[in-house]
């Protein structure tokens, strides 16, 4: 979902009337009553009127009238005295700062503010390519060690509680990993498209349920898919590189976890590895009852 937001937000929607004061870091809106203003890393200042505003990596400043929602990710929403906001205010990584003690707002509209990670989100907006090339540091290494331990324990729990499900998932990957990942990849794209359409057309209370269910399904699919990939890769390495004496279940899982932790730590490559894990998990969910039919072919 985050990838879809970044791609969508990277384009600033054409404005019917903009101010000559616009520069490389500021977008000044004079009058766009029917336009949703979306800006990536540029500060947006609404002088007169706009339908809605979404800013990623900078601030949204309302001096006039916005009839719909105003949202800032990695920035703040600043409502000047005498200005009006008719929809919800949503802020992630910033603050809501009205200049008036009683800002002009539509009744029964929500204000959602999560102040953490403002610096990180701003930097991400200024340099989106940094997600492909992380900075190596002591904290980076410590996080990877913690990730290795966490996924090893979780994988052992999965293989202990549901050995049959994990074995069948590994069998499907061995039979046709390309088919599983392809099914999962296109399903993952479909989920993102449905999320985007839902967020732009459904009521807020429906969106909350819809988004929560989608994230829960994606999280469970990712966890199960990653466990299956750990076991599958561990078995593959043991089969070709290790002797029969070293083929214990715990050692198999440890090898798989170590390989995927390394893959997810390599600049640029980690994005494709993460997408493969999501696709594998979703694909395994959609092909859960097809192992026998594949085997008979």
- Domain edge (last residue) among 102, 128, 154: 128
Q: What is the pLDDT of the chain when averaged over all its residues?
A: 80
pLDDT of 38 reads: 87
Do 114 and 8 reside in the same domain of the chain?
Answer: yes
Do 156 and 283 reside in the same domain of the chain?
Answer: yes
pLDDT of 103 reads: 92
Is residue 244 scored above 50 in pLDDT?
A: yes
Is residue 11 scored above 50 in pLDDT?
A: no
Q: Count Cβ atoms within 10 A of the Cβ of residue 190 and give its class: 0-12 exposed, 13-18 middle, 19 or more buried.
A: exposed
- Domain edge (last residue) among 128, 158, 174: 128
Do 200 and 108 reside in the same domain of the chain?
Answer: no
Do 37 and 168 reside in the same domain of the chain?
Answer: no
Do 46 and 144 reside in the same domain of the chain?
Answer: no
* Distance from C-alpha of 226 to C-alpha of 277, rounded to nearest angstrom: 6
Do 194 and 228 reside in the same domain of the chain?
Answer: yes
Do 172 and 272 reside in the same domain of the chain?
Answer: yes
Expressed as residue numbers, the domain containing 115 is 2-128
* Distance from C-alpha of 81 to C-alpha of 64, rounded to nearest angstrom: 9
Is residue 119 scored above 90 in pLDDT?
A: no
Do 142 and 271 reside in the same domain of the chain?
Answer: yes
Give the mean pLDDT of 224-229: 89
- Domain edge (last residue) among 96, 128, 160: 128
Q: Structural domain tally of the chain?
A: 2
Do 109 and 140 reside in the same domain of the chain?
Answer: no
Tens-digit pLDDT profile for residues 125-161: 666 665 666 666 787 788 889 999 999 999 999 888 9
* Distance from C-alpha of 291 to C-alpha of 53, rounded to nearest angstrom: 48
* Distance from C-alpha of 169 to C-alpha of 1, rounded to nearest angstrom: 25
Other Cβ atoms less than 10 A from the Cβ of 94: the count is 25
Do 44 and 23 reside in the same domain of the chain?
Answer: yes
pLDDT of 63 reads: 94
Do 158 and 287 reside in the same domain of the chain?
Answer: yes
Q: Count Cβ atoms within 10 A of the Cβ of residue 260 and give its class: 0-12 exposed, 13-18 middle, 19 or more buried.
A: buried
Is residue 6 scored above 60 in pLDDT?
A: no
pLDDT of 174 reads: 83
Is residue 20 scored above 50 in pLDDT?
A: no
pLDDT of 7 reads: 36
pLDDT of 215 reads: 80
CA nearest to 46, candidates 87, 8, 6, 2: 87
Do 280 and 142 reside in the same domain of the chain?
Answer: yes
């Amino acid at each position: 979902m985050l990838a879809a937001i970044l791609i969508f937000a990277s384009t600033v929607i054409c404005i019917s009337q903009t101010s000559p004061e616009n520069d490389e870091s500021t977008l000044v809106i004079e009058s766009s009553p029917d336009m949703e203003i979306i800006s990536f890393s540029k500060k947006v200042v609404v002088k007169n009127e706009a339908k809605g505003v979404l800013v990623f990596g900078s601030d949204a400043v309302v001096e006039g009238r916005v009839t719909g929602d105003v949202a800032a990710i990695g920035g703040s929403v600043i409502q000047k005295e005498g200005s009006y906001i008719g929809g919800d205010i949503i802020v992630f990584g910033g603050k809501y700062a009205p200049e008036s003690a009683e800002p002009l707002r539509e009744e029964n509209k929500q204000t959602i503010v999560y102040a953490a990670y403002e610096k990180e989100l701003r930097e991400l907006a200024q340099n989106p390519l940094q997600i492909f090339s992380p900075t190596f540091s002591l904290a980076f290494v410590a996080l990877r060690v913690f990730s290795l331990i966490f996924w090893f324990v979780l994988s052992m729990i999965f293989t202990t509680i549901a050995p049959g499900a994990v074995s069948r998932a590994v069998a499907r990957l061995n039979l046709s990993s390309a088919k599983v990942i392809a099914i999962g990849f296109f399903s993952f794209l479909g989920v993102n498209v449905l999320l985007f359409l839902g967020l732009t057309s459904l009521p807020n209370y429906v969106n909350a349920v819809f988004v929560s269910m989608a994230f829960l399904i994606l999280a469970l699919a990712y966890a199960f898919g990653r466990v299956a990939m750990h076991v599958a890769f561990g078995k593959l390495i043991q089969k070709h590189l290790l002797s029969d004496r070293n083929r214990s279940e715990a050692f198999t899982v440890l090898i798989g976890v170590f390989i995927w932790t390394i893959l997810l730590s390599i600049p640029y490559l980690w994005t494709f590895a993460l997408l493969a894990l999501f696709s594998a998990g979703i694909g395994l969910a959609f092909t859960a009852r097809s192992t026998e039919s594949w085997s008979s072919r």
